[in-house]
């Protein structure tokens, strides 16, 4: 596996561009400050009479007016659907609220949806766009660190099912991703930490130098230094674009982006959606996946304390909830990577290189026993 290339594209001095190249489609991820206050990144979007902004009741009061202003020169009608906030609302009910609005205001199949918010809004808006009239264009405007480094890119869209995370969804790519780094100014610190879990993920799976960079720059990231955030968002998007460009529909390589998620999704579903933030569950899940990598002899023993320390420094939990070993195993057997009931984990086999494989239940049980209070 060769490393994801570093790119040097700039739209303007303030805006960096990472391009994602897929078989059917190419699109840009624009990363920079003041994107919601400036027209530059909003030109040449899909033409239509109507734009519909999907957001939630936390983000809309902060950024809906600015986004509406950006879109008004380009669309005759700019409307909005404001959903209740939270992972617990990543459901059919919320999706139906989007469809109700689109149909009640006679939105045609050219209507462009804009996802203004974090990963929950992005995943639901993308799914709505995938199925409304069998597909309308959509644009991601991610406002959390997690959404800027991960969920807005790559076209995984979904809602949750009570029995499993993101179980109902579609692969459906956005037309563009516009990540305004300034929107991170209003993000609660707990959410910033949750985003750092996905940032950290990219190091061990794909780029050992980036892991070292995160270790060296974590304090700057935690204090929201703009240059550090800009580099982190860009590097994560480069790596994700490089992975998804080779395997859009997760037939193989793309599964490495699920590092920490096999345990993490079990925590989210087992605890009830929203009790643990996605990034928190992934952070803790990465500790468990690192331990499993060590126990299987793939990585040396000092890898586990190194990763646990970094995840802890990022403000993330490193001790999982006591769901019980059987419950963990039951939840992980319905993970999307499982095959014929056999759980498959993303494990690290060298710094910057991941592998997807199964492990004996007894060993997985030891890992759960060691890391869950």
Ligand X SMILES: O=C(O)C(=O)C[C@@H](O)[C@H](O)[C@H](O)COP(=O)(O)O
Ligand Y SMILES: NC(=O)c1ccc[n+]([C@@H]2O[C@H](COP(=O)([O-])OP(=O)(O)OC[C@H]3O[C@@H](n4cnc5c(N)ncnc54)[C@H](O)[C@@H]3O)[C@@H](O)[C@H]2O)c1
Q: Is 257 one of the binding residues for ligand X (CB under 6 A)? A: yes
Beta carbons within 10 angstroms of residue 44's beta carbon:
9
**Cα four-point dihedral sign 197, 203, 204, 206:** positive
Helix/strand/coil for 81: strand
Q: Is 196 one of the binding residues for ligand X (CB under 6 A)? A: no
CA torsion angle 288 276 203 309 (round to 10): -60
Does 278 qualify as catalytic in the annotation?
Answer: yes
Which residue number, 131 or 365, has a Cβ lying nearer to ligand Y?
131
Does 215 qualify as catalytic in the annotation?
Answer: no
As beta bridge partners, residue 171 has: 156
As beta bridge partners, residue 357 has: 345
The rounded distance, in Å, linking the Cα atoms of 17 and 175 is 14
Asked if 136 and 111 touch (Cβ cutoff 8 Å), the reply is: yes
Relative to beta strand 176-180, strand 164-171 is unpaired
Q: Is 225 a known ligand-binding residue?
A: no
Q: Is 89 a known ligand-binding residue?
A: yes
- Number of residues counted as binding ligand X (CB under 6 A): 12
Question: Judged by CB under 6 A, which of 261, 308, 344, 371 binds ligand X?
Answer: 261
Q: Site map for ligand X, 111-150, x if CB under 6 A?
A: ---------------------------------------x
Which residue number, 183 or 262, has a Cβ lying nearer to ligand Y?
183
Per the residue annotation, which of 176, 201, 235, 265 is the catalytic one? 265
Does 265 qualify as catalytic in the annotation?
Answer: yes
Q: How big is the chain, counted in residues?
A: 373
Q: Which does 87 bind (CB under 5 to 8 A by kind): ligand Y, ligand X, none?
A: ligand Y
The rounded distance, in Å, linking the Cα atoms of 359 and 236 is 28
Does 353 qualify as catalytic in the annotation?
Answer: no
Does 258 qualify as catalytic in the annotation?
Answer: yes
Asked if 55 and 64 touch (Cβ cutoff 8 Å), the reply is: yes
Binding residues: 85-90, 119-123, 143-144, 156, 165, 198, 261, 278
**Which parts are annotated binding residues for NAD(+)?**
85-90, 119-123, 143-144, 156, 165
Contact residues toward ligand X (CB under 6 A) are 150, 154, 156, 165-166, 198, 250, 254, 257-258, 261, 336
Catalytic residue numbers, as ranges: 134, 156, 198, 240, 250, 254, 258, 261, 265, 278
């Amino acid at each position: 596996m060769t490393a994801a290339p570093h790119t040097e594209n700039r739209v303007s001095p303030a805006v960096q561009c990472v391009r994602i190249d897929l078989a059917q489609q190419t699109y840009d991820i624009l990363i920079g400050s003041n994107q919601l206050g400036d027209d530059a990144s909003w030109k040449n979007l899909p033409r239509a009479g109507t734009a519909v902004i999907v957001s939630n009741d936390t983000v809309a009061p902060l950024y809906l007016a600015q986004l509406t202003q950006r879109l008004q020169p380009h669309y005759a009608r700019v409307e909005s659907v404001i959903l209740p906030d939270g992972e617990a609302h990543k459901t059919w009910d919320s999706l139906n609220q989007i469809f109700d609005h689109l149909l009640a205001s006679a939105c045609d199949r050219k209507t462009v949806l804009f996802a203004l918010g974090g990963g929950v809004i992005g995943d639901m808006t993308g799914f709505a766009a995938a199925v409304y009239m069998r597909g309308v264009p959509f644009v991601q405007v991610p406002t959390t660190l997690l959404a800027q480094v991960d969920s807005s890119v790559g076209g995984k869209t979904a809602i949750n099912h009570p029995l499993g995370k993101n179980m109902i969804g579609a692969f459906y790519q956005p037309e563009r991703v516009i990540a305004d780094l300034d929107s991170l100014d209003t993000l609660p610190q707990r959410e910033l930490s949750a985003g750092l879990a996905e940032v950290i993920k990219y190091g061990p799976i794909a780029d050992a130098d980036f892991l070292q960079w995160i270790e060296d720059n974590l304090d700057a990231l935690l204090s929201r230094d703009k240059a550090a955030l800009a580099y982190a968002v860009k590097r994560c998007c480069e790596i994700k674009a490089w992975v998804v460009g080779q395997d859009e529909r997760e037939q193989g390589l793309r599964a490495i982006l699920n590092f920490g998620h096999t345990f993490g999704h079990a925590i989210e579903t087992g605890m009830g959606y929203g009790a643990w933030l996605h990034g928190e569950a992934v952070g803790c899940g990465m500790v468990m996946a690192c331990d499993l990598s060590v126990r299987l002899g793939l990585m040396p023993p000092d890898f586990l304390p190194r990763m646990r320390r970094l995840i802890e420094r990022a403000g993330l939990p490193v001790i999982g909830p006591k769901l019980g070993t059987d419950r963990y195993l039951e939840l992980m057997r319905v993970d999307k990577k499982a095959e014929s009931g056999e759980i498959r984990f993303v494990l690290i086999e060298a710094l910057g290189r991941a592998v997807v494989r199964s492990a004996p239940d007894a060993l997985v049980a030891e890992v759960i026993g060691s890391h869950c209070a």
